[in-house]
Amino acid sequence: MSTLETRPNIPEPDDFYQALIEAHRGLSDEQSMALNARLVLLLSNHIGDPQVLLEALRLAREDARA
Amino acid sequence: MHRRGVRRNPQLAESVPVNLRYFRPLCLRRLRSLSRGIDPVTDKDLFAYRKAPELAAAAHGHYPVIVVGAGPVGLTAALDLAQRGIPFMLVDEDQRLSAGSRAICFAKRTLEILDRLGCGEQAVNKGVVWNKGKVFLGEDLLYSFDLLPEPGHKRPAFINLQQYYLEAFMIERLRSLGADLRWRNKVVEVKPAADSVAVAIDTPDGRYRARCQYLIVADGARSPVRHLLGLQSRGQVFRDRFLIADVFMEADFPIERWFWFDPPFHPGRSVLLHRQADNVWRIDFQLGWDADPEIEKQPAQVTPRIRAMLGPERPFELVWVSVYTFQCRRMDRFRHGRVLFAGDAAHQVSPFGARGANSGMQDADNLVWKLGLVLSGGAPDALLESYERERVPAADENILYSTRSTDFITPKSTVSRAFRDATLWLARNHAFARRLVNSGRLSTPSAYLDSPLNTVDGDAFAGSLAPGAPALDAPLLADGKSVWLIDRLGGGFTGVYFAGAEPVSPAAATSLSSLAGLPVPVSPLIVAARGVTPGPDACGDVEGLVQQRLDATPGAFYLFRPDQHLAARWRRLDAPAVGAALERATDNASASGASA
């Protein structure tokens, strides 16, 4: 069991960010939502650790309804 | 009529199927009739109405127990009461079997309960044993599963059997035991009091009143008695509708549970296909919330759906059709003084996972031995608290699993739908996503691990058995005959003593013989290790599976409850410890002030 990494961990952040936006290029909102869903599932399985996943869900939801 | 002769001897019912009439494949006409709850061949026998003796002032109308509802749960309770010799009457407002196949998947644990009640053999003989399932997406197989039957168990993981057959077998058995079954008796008033419950019952011959010490309410999801008492079952309704059809056809499809997401013959929705007895197949079509149930039930509407699924070549006949909306809900409490709720009346789940009838019958299995002890003075009324303490968590577990399945099959929001579709999309190529696909997680028995009746292990044991869990089965040899451990447990408390390779020591023999003299008697079952010739009072662990599944070492002792759940276990037999565990398992410990 480990904790969620929130310190910088992506070597080339700008490259990653660009790739993320690129992945959605030309997609409708609905298609993008589908892509995001697949991405979340793929990455979640890669992480696997329930403690990390629950912590990420909690952080992501923080102030979501503000 | 010779068929009466078959039923006359109750002992016969213990070992051979009584109702031979059901054991030939039935014709379509009779199946259609059965699906309306009416079997012209047997109904005169099964549902004979007679005027209540109270109406002729021939009975005082006072019963230890009244059971309301003759579905699988009420019938389970009634059979258990009958076998225990507890006087009761069973009332049902109707006079027919289950309309349509309804509950069809009966799990291993339920079959073990039916065995204890003398109906297991009939159910398994008539039912269809299955272990495998497939999940399809579109035209492609996503994955298949095998419940991998482990050898050395009497009963399979599941059988499929139409509910009307099961009910017919149970009613036959009740009749053979001379039970007081009252059809067309509708409870119209319930007045609980401190020392009894008063009911008023309407019949074709008028109204009568009766009293009971305990009222078992198993009158189904709509539970008229629950309404009479102003009680509620709370939860959620799923905004979806499902068409359920029983189809008669000769098909050589494998005996497997087949579930489709988005099949070409029913795009964008799900379909389930499952085989039952007598070439009847259950097909569920997801219809969506906007479907009109009255229109969807019409054969002109149903037939093309099935034709699209089965192809133009295959002949089939519709036997029964219904449209359902699913709910997951339960009552806050299952026990209201002397009124005890069981089955769908107490808790309701969606059908994906076969958790409705199975869990309801386990409610009855849990309740009746406790009632028996309380009524005979062997335990205080407080023992009935444990019914709720054990079966409410079981209901919550079933509701949790079935809610998760229904959320997957019927996503409630746009984003929920997006994740569901993403899961299915990924499942085509990635093993991890197949594990997320949920077309129903199938019923497993509840283990009452947090029950106040358990004695916490003082010694270490390996394996999946734990105090509160149902017994694991294993083959035994008794008097040169092959028998099953599960059939040697239950009814009363049973103490399994694993003798190992040595003869039972004089000290152990003294302890074992003292068990019958406890306030609540415990029957000993001595098991000799594999390879050892068992003594005259012992069974042989022929395949070594008792040792393995119970993690038994020579001298180990296991106290099983009347419902075959484990109450306590030790590495060494110690009679005072057994006595204390028994007090705990019957809730006599606090009553006698032992905990003070």
Q: Which residue of B414, B415, B422 is in closest CB contact with A38? A: B422
Other Cβ atoms less than 10 A from the Cβ of B113: the count is 27
pLDDT at B265 over 50: yes
Please give the structure tokens belonging to residue B68. Answer: 């309301």
* Residue bearing the bigger pLDDT, A63 or B212: B212
- pLDDT score for B219: 97
Question: Residue B54 carries which DSSP code?
Answer: G
Q: Which domains does chain B have, with CATH numbers?
A: 1-104+162-219 (3.50.50.60), 475-591 (3.40.30.120)
Which range in B16-20, B103-107, B311-315, B385-389 is most confidently predicted, on average pLDDT?
B385-389
Reported confidence tier of residue B501, pLDDT bands at 50, 70, 90 = confident
Type and span of the H or E element at B498: strand B493-500
Q: Residue B354, by phi and psi: left (phi above 0), alpha (psi -120 to 50) or beta?
A: left
Other Cβ atoms less than 10 A from the Cβ of B531: the count is 10
Contact B422 A37 (CB under 8 A): yes
- pLDDT score for B537: 87
Contact B421 A37 (CB under 8 A): yes
- Cα separation of B145 and B420, whole Å? 20
pLDDT at B102 over 60: yes
User: Across the A/B interface, how many CB contacts are shorter than 8 Å?
Assistant: 28
pTM of the model: 0.92
User: In this predicted model, what pLDDT tens digit does every residue of B230-243 receive, in sequence order?
Assistant: 999 999 888 899 99
Give residue ranges of B with CB < 8 Å to any A CB: 414-415, 418-419, 421-423, 425-426, 430, 432-433, 436
- Cα separation of B374 and B385, whole Å? 12
Reported confidence tier of residue A66, pLDDT bands at 50, 70, 90 = low
- pLDDT score for B14: 38
Picking from A29, A30, A38 by the largest number of B CB atoms within 10 A of its own CB, the best residue to mutate is A38
- Cα separation of B516 and B423, whole Å? 57
B411 contact partners, CB below 8 Å, separation of at least 6: B417, B419, B420
Nearest CA in chain B to A38: B422
Instruction: Sort out which chain B residues have CB atoms less than 8 A from A29's CB and list them.
Output: none
Please give the structure tokens belonging to residue B334. Answer: 């299952």
A32 Cα to chain B: minimum distance (Å): 10
- Cα separation of B112 and B116, whole Å? 6
Please give the structure tokens belonging to residue A7. Answer: 């310190």
- pLDDT score for A25: 97
What DSSP letter does each residue of B260-324 carry, written as one string? EES-TTSTTSEEEEEE-STTEEEEEEE--TT--HHHHTSHHHHHHHHHHHH-TT---EEEEEEEE
Computed over every residue of chain B, the mean pLDDT equals: 91
Nearest CA in chain B to A45: B432
- pLDDT score for B17: 39
Tell me the one-letter amino acid at A61: R
Q: What is the mean pLDDT of residues B41-50?
A: 77
Reported confidence tier of residue B6, pLDDT bands at 50, 70, 90 = very low
Q: What is the mean pLDDT of residues B319-348?
A: 95
Q: Please, how many CA atoms are within 13 Å of residue A15, restricted to the half-sphere of its CB?
A: 3
User: In this predicted model, what pLDDT tens digit does every residue of B60-82 receive, in sequence order?
Assistant: 799 999 999 999 999 999 999 99
Reported ipTM: 0.96
Task: Give residue for tokens 């003759």.
Answer: B70
User: In this predicted model, what pLDDT tens digit does every residue of B114-127 receive, in sequence order?
Assistant: 999 999 999 999 99
Q: Which residue of B414, B415, B426 is in closest CB contact with A38? A: B426
Q: What is the mean pLDDT of residues B337-344?
A: 97
pLDDT at A7 over 50: yes
Return the sign of the alpha-carbon dihedral for residues B387, B392, B395, B401.
negative
Reported confidence tier of residue A1, pLDDT bands at 50, 70, 90 = low
Instruction: Sort out which chain A residues have CB atoms less than 8 A from B419's CB and list them.
Output: 37, 40-41
Contact B422 A45 (CB under 8 A): no
pLDDT at B593 over 80: no
Which of B262, B252, B258, B270 shows the shortest CA–CA distance to B144? Answer: B258
Which of B254, B311, B321 shows the shortest CA–CA distance to B284? Answer: B321
Burial label, B389 (beta-carbon count in 10 A; 0-12, 13-18, 19+): middle
Enumerate the domain spans of chain A. Answer: 27-66
Instruction: Sort out which chain B residues have CB atoms less than 8 A from A33's CB and list them.
Output: 414-415, 418
The greatest distance separating any two alpha carbons of chain B, rounded to the nearest whole angstrom, comes to 76
Q: Please, how many CA atoms are within 13 Å of residue B294, restricted to the half-sphere of its CB?
A: 0
Reported confidence tier of residue B354, pLDDT bands at 50, 70, 90 = confident
pLDDT at B1 over 50: no
State how far Cα B2 lies from the chain centre.
Answer: 32
Instruction: Sort out which chain A residues have CB atoms less than 8 A from B430's CB and list them.
Output: 42
Q: What is the mean pLDDT of residues B363-373?
A: 98
Reported confidence tier of residue B44, pLDDT bands at 50, 70, 90 = low
Q: What is the mean pLDDT of residues B501-526?
A: 94
Q: Which residues pair with B559 in a beta bridge?
A: B495, B568
Contact B418 A33 (CB under 8 A): yes
